[in-house]
Amino acid sequence: MSVMLTKFESKSNRVKGLAFHPTQPLLAAALHNGSVQLWNYRMGVLVDRFEEHEGPVRGVAIHPSRALLVTGGDDYKIKVWDIRPQNRRCLFTLHGHLDYVRTVQFHHEMPWILSTSDDQTIRIWNSTSRNCIAILTGHSHYVMSAQFHPKDDLIVSASMDQTVRVWDISGLRKNTPNQGGPGGNPGNGPGNFETFDNFSTVKYVLEGHDRGVNFAVFHPTLPLIISAADDRQIKIWRMSETKAWEVDSCRGHFNNVSSALFHPKHELIVSCGEDKTVRVWDLAKRTAIQTFRREHDRFWVLAAHPQLNLFAAGHDSGLIVFKLERERPAFAVHQDSLYYIRDKYVRAYDFNSGSDIGLLSVRKFGSPYVPPRTLSYNPAERAVLSTISSDGGIFELSTLPQGQQGDVKDSSADGKKGTGQSAIFVARNRFAVLNKATQLIEVRDLSNSVVKTIKPPVQTNEIFYGGTASLILSSTTTVVLYDIQQQKTIAEVNSPPVKYVVWNSDSSLVALMSKHTITIANRTFSQHSLIHETIRIKSGAWDDAGVFIYSTLNHIKYCLNQGDHGVICTLDNPVYLTRVKGKTVHCLDRSARPRTITFDPTEYRFKLALLRNNYEEMLYIIKTSTLLGQSIIGYLQQKGFPEIALHFVQDTNTRFELAIECGNLDVAMEMAKTIDRPECWERLAQQALKQGNHKIVEKAYQQTKNFDKLSFLYLATGSTDKLSKMQKIADARGDPMSRFHNALYAGDVHGRIAVLRDVGLHPLAYLTAKTNGLDDLALEILQAAGLTEADIDDVPTFGASSLKPPPVVTPTTDLNWPAVAGPENFWDRALASGALEGGVESPYANGDAGGVAASSALDAWAKEEEEIPDDLDPEEGGWELDADGGDFQSAADEEEAVPEDEELGAGASPGVSEVEHWTRNSPLAADHVAAGAFESAMQLLNRQLGIVNFNVLKPIFISIYRSSHTYLSPVASLPPLHLHVRRDITESAPSRVLPVAARTLQSVRSELAEGYRFVSGNKLAEAQQSFRSVLQSLLLVVLSSDDEAKLWRDTVTAAREYLLGVTIELERRRVAEQEPDNVARNLELAAYFTHCQLQPPHMQIALRSAIGVYAKANNQAHAARFAKRLLELKPDPKIVAQARQRIAAGDRNPRNAVEVAYDEFTPFEICGVTFTPIYRGSPAVHCPYTDASYHPQFKGSLDPLTQLTEIGATASGMPAPWSDGR
Amino acid sequence: MDSSELYHVKQQFILGAYKTLVDLSLPDPNSPDHTPTLLYQARAHIALNNPKAAIALLPDGSSNVAVKAAASLARYVAATDAASKDSQLEDLRDLAVEIEGEDADGSEKDRALVRVLAGTAFARAGEVEEALETLGGATEDLEAVSVIVQIYLSINRPDLARKEFDRAKKWAEDDLLLQLIESTIGLVSGKDGYSNCNSFYTEQIGNPSLSSPHLLTARGVTRILRNEFPEAKSDLEESMEQQKGDAETLAAYVVASGLAAPKKPEVDELWNRLVSEHPEHPLVVDVASKAQLFDECAAKFEVPPTAAARA
């Protein structure tokens, strides 16, 4: 074991007890001065202190699943604490021990607390009932420690009486059926010792130590016990069902051994003692592997994290948290494969398929306790090059077995080894090895012979691949790009020691990672940017879009090329990123297992798009995800895009500020109205004045009652009526100065005089009147003042004044000109077009990526932790993904409003009416009709179904329109409110509302049924009318599904066939009546009628009619044919009899008296105009709506059947609005 | 605080029980309730489109600005020619200006009412801006808010209506009128499937202290909007029984019947009845204009000759 990595250290009073939190980076330390500390060892901060014990605290434990802490001290007390951040307090105290409490422990599943004391007893307490439920007696000296077995009902205890005892407590579990209930143990007072002995018995007494034993513990899985004693030995004991015996001792500590633990994952023992050392032992060989010495401090206690490779040791002046080996798995990524080493096996993991197979054992490579440090993969030769730090640093080159299914081979078989601290492939058949001691880089070929030796230009600690024929050399202060061929430095960048290097997919960018910095550089290092992190940087990978994603101890973050970075998600435990694909991060965890984390790339994609001015992408992101929050607003503002930030802001004050900043007066105005504070209006007025929008200035002045400025503004804009209004207002306010001003501005001499008179300034009034030639008035003033002309002889005479306001040349009142043109930007257009709606809710949220571990419980902690680092990104938690997308819409709506300003309180211009939304939202003619947009409805029908004759549709149009609107007067005497009946009452977003379906397929089909009844009732004229009406109604039916669309088409076809059939029959009757000689035509039409697709009952009518007509004309053969067809329809027995007679007659006399154009054996359509057959293969044109067939010469005429369409016109067909494509 | 009688009168007015209100006998002329009740009665007359009765009711030469405004509104509604309409509007404008002064006549309430009445008249005249201006942007008078909200709704600005309502919510507590305003907004915006409007009207129909066919009509309309056509028809039928010849109810009934059974001939009968009885109703006017639009649009399509066999 060559590494022991200290992760955290604290200085304090002597530490006597330690306990790790099972899921959070917390460590409880019991101090000799009576305090209990709770440390966050990852952040290095003291989270809390518990100081209620008097005297030293020796025992401490954290509950495995609940937020509880138990402590035991020299005050004989055991205290249980709630450690949740919001309510940290002592929950209760257990009294009973009669001397110092040494250790305490929670049971892993029962509500039990185990304690040991110098009173020579071990006690078990029920933490629910808070009673002592068992007292284990037997030790004859202080009991130094006791531990539950991790699975079985056993306890192991260590005592100063030199024994280790194993206790069977299965009786306790059996005898506490009501465990948890306060009344579970009736009569068990603390003094009632005898009763407990039933529950627990000493199973084994382990004798062997010849001094007091300080600590003993079970192996997590094997039937082993280790004990640490003052005889400087660690003993290993084995147990069977019946006995227990000493296996071996570990000797090496040269003073009392305080504690010894099994390594939770490896076959190792860790121990510490008063000889100021922590030692690591091989469990199998019982040999010391490593010793870690401390100068002055004796070690008192040791704790192991239940899951992680973490240990803590308490000593005289504090504690240390350490791990025993590097946990960063060695890995290399090539295309879609990850090659990595887990448990000394080289494995291949496929990112796509997730297959994960072992390929090569490296067990015999270096120390068995040390995992390989790096791995380099050579795809051409399918070779791997790994390094290990044991044995002074060695490398091994071996080839992977060919074929995925091959047996796992051992690298020692053909592996080529050598000394070197860092080794990487630099070409297909070359690799470079760094020897740190000699400072030489050797380039070797695949047979491991040196082909070149390089003396690096700087003190090099590590080498990385630097692109073709180049190396990246990492020194303590710089990183060097070095050309192997020319043996010279290409570039050098200052950086702390670089530990990892990651190239992006096209090798144009490289990320150089050191402990706290990331340098992003291009391939020649000519451009680079630096990111600093206070938290340790662990790993990184490039995203497909060229964003570098990296992991720190507790976050996954992104950084953009120019150096912006932010948090993507929080991590419970560090991971090593291997690959980023879309929303998925592939990584290896600390036990080298491949994992994936899904995250939301929206934020950085948005920022990236912003950097690249890719507005379409930004818009797309806004549309498809909910992108809101302070962070993005702050970011946009900081980056100089206030106008874009405006689209994200909800808060009115911020919105106002931003709007002022980017000169968006409309928004500013809107917000000022909401805020309605004088200072806002003043700022708005200033900004509007700058931009020359005097209407807004006016509005702002009005709001602040800034009459003087308002008057002046009116003067400046030449608004004389407003000035006179101001005069009235001034009158009302009784403010003579304002009246005078306004009168002056308005050029109202009388007004001025009136003011002067009102305030008693008669002389001025007189002079004003006089100089303006108002002698009568002047005289009146004189008289009012009780003077005559004579009295004012001494007043000099002034010439008539021509002073008056200049005439209005261009009335700018109604013009906002000249205005500073606001920059018309992409956003305004995109947003104003109403394209933005509340986007799709993101299905993922930023959060704890490792949601597996009781993450909810960790949330509170996680938050706290995140607040500690000072570089905490503002983005953290800022992505309020839950924000209501609907607000976008309203913002967009406001954009749409034409910012034409009105007077005083009337800041409203008409919005988009509901009917306009209807037409915008639907491609269906029916909806346009309901909206009253008849023109577009007609165009749609014309385009979709070739309708040209609309006059017949007028009643339907009008009735649909009429049915879609209603009125109500909620307020007396106001015109009623126009209300709109919607199709889906749950839908209220303007971008999706649609009118009520006034005509439904159902209602039309009932109309069709009515037509059928007319046919059955032989009311053919009515039937014809009815089918036409059906076809008209079908044009304006709203469909909601594919099934309905199919039904619609079927209905159209059925109506067409009936319409055609009925029309043919009507024609036949006309012929029969008007041209009785034209027997052939009569017969033909009767035959054609039977070729319309009618329902069986109607087909029977057609056939029977045809049989009658043909029989009468003595075309017996034909009549028999019809009769046969009739039989196929299985009619009434009576009809069957008739049909059979007819067939018999036909058989007797198989002749046709009249020659007719009727060939029933060749399929044909019937022309809707001439009612003559169009045999298959003959040219035909069709009705674009019903698809009825016609002879080609009728192309361009009005369809006589429906009287709606132009025969042969092209049409696009009904659109499918239910497949809501937006 | 209003007396309970006055409160009741106000409630009837707000909920559209104009008929009941008109038939009420006025309190003693010396009572402080006299003038407010008189005003509500007069306004009920106007709302029933019977401005003559309102004019008769309102004393001539009253110095109360609100009475003057009500009279002006009545005359405005009664007026048939543009000139006299304009003169009444001018009167109201003068009144609106008059009350702006600091020493203007009338109590704060009267002045607020003047604004409401003037705003109503302006809105009727289509002077939206002027109406909003008169009513003021920061009013704390709920009646004014109700008018403002309806004006906003009529110009398709439910967003502004909602804002106005939200603003009012802060000071108006849970006034009945405020609830009405909310449900009015709901009718237009259609949030939550009109459930709020529906429950508001249902609740008020159940209000024992008054009965107003107007509420039935309102619920009928709400039910139309909720696509519950048979239910809507039954509400509207009941309402029609209580107030014969109400144009609004009949118009809504036409719509409900049309949607319940589009092809029934009685729908057209109802429609013809509406057209002949209430030719002024906006639905009638609107449909008439759409019919004309139809003819214009249809004329743009050239109809080819009908295909004929012997052509």
Of B18, B153, B294, Cβ closest to residue A957: B294
Contacts with A, B 73-112, CB within 8 Å? 73, 77, 97, 100-104
- β-bridge partners, A250: A234
Record: contact A975-B123, CB cut-off 8 A: yes
Record: contact B136-A959, CB cut-off 8 A: no
| Closest chain A residue to B43, measured at CA | A972
- Do the domain assignments include residue B196? no
Do B245 and B223 lie in one domain? The reply is yes
Angle at A407 between CA A401 and CA A413, to 5 degrees: 60
Do B274 and B165 lie in one domain? The reply is no
* CA count, 13 A, side-chain hemisphere, A1003: 19
Alpha-carbon distance A292 to A313, whole Å?
11
* Residue A393 near residue A7, CB atoms below 8 Å: no
Is the alpha carbon torsion for A1043, A1045, A1049, A1055 positive or negative?
Answer: positive
Q: Which residues of B touch A1203 (CB under 8 A)?
A: 306
Contacts with B, A 861-920, CB within 8 Å? 890, 893-894, 897, 902-914
Do B63 and B104 lie in one domain? The reply is yes
pLDDT in tens, A159-191: 999 999 999 888 877 655 444 434 334 444 444
A874/A244: higher pLDDT = A244
- Do the domain assignments include residue B307? no
- Do the domain assignments include residue B185? yes
* CA count, 13 A, side-chain hemisphere, B40: 28
Instruction: Identify the pLDDT of residue A120.
Output: 92
CATH number of the structural domain spanning residue B223: 1.25.40
* Residue B21 near residue B41, CB atoms below 8 Å: yes
Q: Please, which residues have CB within 8 angstroms of residue B275's CB and are 6 or more apart in sequence?
A: B284
Do B15 and B91 lie in one domain? The reply is yes
Phi first, then psi: give them for residue A1212, nearest 5 degrees: -90, -10
Phi first, then psi: give them for residue A944, nearest 5 degrees: -80, -40
Q: Which residues of A touch B11 (CB under 8 A)?
A: none
For chain B, the residue count is 311
Least confident among A403-407, A655-659, A803-807, B280-284: A403-407
Identify the CA nearest to A134 among candidates A174, A91, A169. A169
pLDDT tier at A192, thresholds 50, 70, 90: very low
Instruction: Identify the pLDDT of residue B80.
Output: 84
Record: contact A962-B44, CB cut-off 8 A: no
Do B19 and B117 lie in one domain? The reply is yes
Do B13 and B73 lie in one domain? The reply is yes
pLDDT in tens, A116-143: 999 999 999 988 888 888 899 889 999 9
Instruction: Identify the pLDDT of residue A319.
Output: 92
- Do the domain assignments include residue B306? no
A880/A133: higher pLDDT = A133
Record: contact A948-B157, CB cut-off 8 A: no
Out of B127, B145, B178, a domain closes at B127
| Closest chain A residue to B49, measured at CA | A973
Q: Which of B159, B163, B184 is best to mutate for the A interface (most A CBs within 10 A)?
A: B159
The H or E element spanning position A577 is strand A576-581
pLDDT tier at A947, thresholds 50, 70, 90: confident
Record: contact A966-B286, CB cut-off 8 A: no
Do B54 and B149 lie in one domain? The reply is no
A857 pLDDT more than 50: no
- β-bridge partners, A529: A520
Tokens 């330690």 appear where? A18
Pairs of residues, one from chain A and one from chain B, whose beta carbons lie less than 8 Å apart? 259
Alpha-carbon distance A108 to A127, whole Å?
13
- Output A766-770 pairs: Cβ under 8 A, ≥24 positions apart: A766/A792, A767/A795, A767/A798, A770/A797, A770/A798
- Do the domain assignments include residue B78? yes
Of B133, B135, B304, Cβ closest to residue A1206: B304
Q: How far is CA A719 from CA A694, A815, A969, in A?
A: 11, 11, 38
Does residue B221 belong to the interface with chain A, where contact is any CB pair within 8 Å?
yes
* Residue A1091 near residue A1172, CB atoms below 8 Å: no
A1144 pLDDT more than 90: no
pLDDT in tens, A1035-1071: 888 887 888 888 888 899 899 999 998 898 888 888 8
A289/A1: higher pLDDT = A289
Q: How far is CA A472 from CA A335, A475, A490, A507, A777, in A?
A: 22, 10, 10, 14, 100
Instruction: Identify the pLDDT of residue A867.
Output: 43
| Closest chain A residue to B100, measured at CA | A732
Give me the domain span that covers residue B277.
205-298
Do B53 and B140 lie in one domain? The reply is no
| Closest chain A residue to B117, measured at CA | A973
pLDDT tier at A629, thresholds 50, 70, 90: low
Record: contact A894-B159, CB cut-off 8 A: yes
Q: Please, which residues have CB within 8 angstroms of residue A877's CB and are 6 or more apart in sequence?
A: A863, A866
pLDDT tier at A313, thresholds 50, 70, 90: very high
* Residue A50 near residue A69, CB atoms below 8 Å: yes
Q: What integer is the mean pLDDT of A201-217?
A: 91
Do B169 and B89 lie in one domain? The reply is no
pLDDT tier at A876, thresholds 50, 70, 90: very low
Q: What integer is the mean pLDDT of A1148-1162?
A: 80
Do B20 and B114 lie in one domain? The reply is yes
pLDDT tier at A757, thresholds 50, 70, 90: confident
Q: How far is CA A242 from CA A169, A855, A1076, in A?
A: 15, 43, 121
The percent of residues above 70 in pLDDT, for chain A, comes to: 86
Contacts with B, A 1150-1209, CB within 8 Å? 1168-1171, 1190, 1194, 1196-1200, 1203, 1206-1207
Does residue A674 belong to the interface with chain B, where contact is any CB pair within 8 Å?
yes
- Do the domain assignments include residue B282? yes
Instruction: Identify the pLDDT of residue A236.
Output: 94
B7/B264: higher pLDDT = B7
Q: How far is A767 from chain B (nearest CA, A)?
A: 30
Out of B108, B127, B146, a domain closes at B127
A522/A876: higher pLDDT = A522
Instruction: Identify the pLDDT of residue A116.
Output: 94
* Residue A659 near residue A649, CB atoms below 8 Å: no
pLDDT in tens, A1093-1143: 888 888 888 888 888 888 888 888 888 888 888 888 888 888 888 888 888
Does residue B253 belong to the interface with chain A, where contact is any CB pair within 8 Å?
no
For chain A, the residue count is 1222
Question: At A973, which amino acid appears?
Answer: S
Of B135, B263, B311, Cβ closest to residue A1007: B263
Record: contact B309-A950, CB cut-off 8 A: no
Instruction: Identify the pLDDT of residue A1218.
Output: 53
State the Cα torsion A758-A764-A766-A771 to the nearest 10°. Answer: -130
- Do the domain assignments include residue B195? no
Q: Across chain A, what does the average pLDDT equal?
A: 81
Record: contact B132-A954, CB cut-off 8 A: no
Instruction: Identify the pLDDT of residue A647.
Output: 67
Instruction: Identify the pLDDT of residue A1169.
Output: 86
Q: How far is A978 from chain B (nearest CA, A)?
A: 7
Q: How far is A997 from chain B (nearest CA, A)?
A: 8
Q: How many domains does chain B fold into?
A: 3
Identify the CA nearest to A1020 among candidates A1067, A1078, A1071, A1080. A1067
Do B210 and B287 lie in one domain? The reply is yes
- Do the domain assignments include residue B290? yes
| Closest chain A residue to B135, measured at CA | A905
Instruction: Identify the pLDDT of residue A145.
Output: 94
A671/A411: higher pLDDT = A671
Does residue A639 belong to the interface with chain B, where contact is any CB pair within 8 Å?
no
Out of B127, B162, B178, a domain closes at B127
The b/e string for B117-137 (b: 16+ C-beta within 10 A; e otherwise) is bbbbbbbbbebbbbbbbbbbb
Instruction: Identify the pLDDT of residue A862.
Output: 39
Least confident among A636-640, A973-977, B16-20, B34-38: A636-640
Do B171 and B109 lie in one domain? The reply is no
- Output A950-956 pairs: Cβ under 8 A, ≥24 positions apart: A950/B294, A950/B297, A950/B298, A950/B301, A951/B298, A951/B303, A952/A1028, A952/A1032, A952/A1203, A952/A1204, A953/A1032, A953/A1035, A953/A1036, A953/A1204, A954/B291, A954/B294, A954/B295, A954/B298, A956/A929, A956/A999, A956/A1032, A956/A1033, A956/A1035, A956/A1036
pLDDT in tens, A550-590: 998 888 888 887 777 888 888 877 889 998 888 888 999 88
Does residue A834 belong to the interface with chain B, where contact is any CB pair within 8 Å?
no
Instruction: Identify the pLDDT of residue A62.
Output: 94
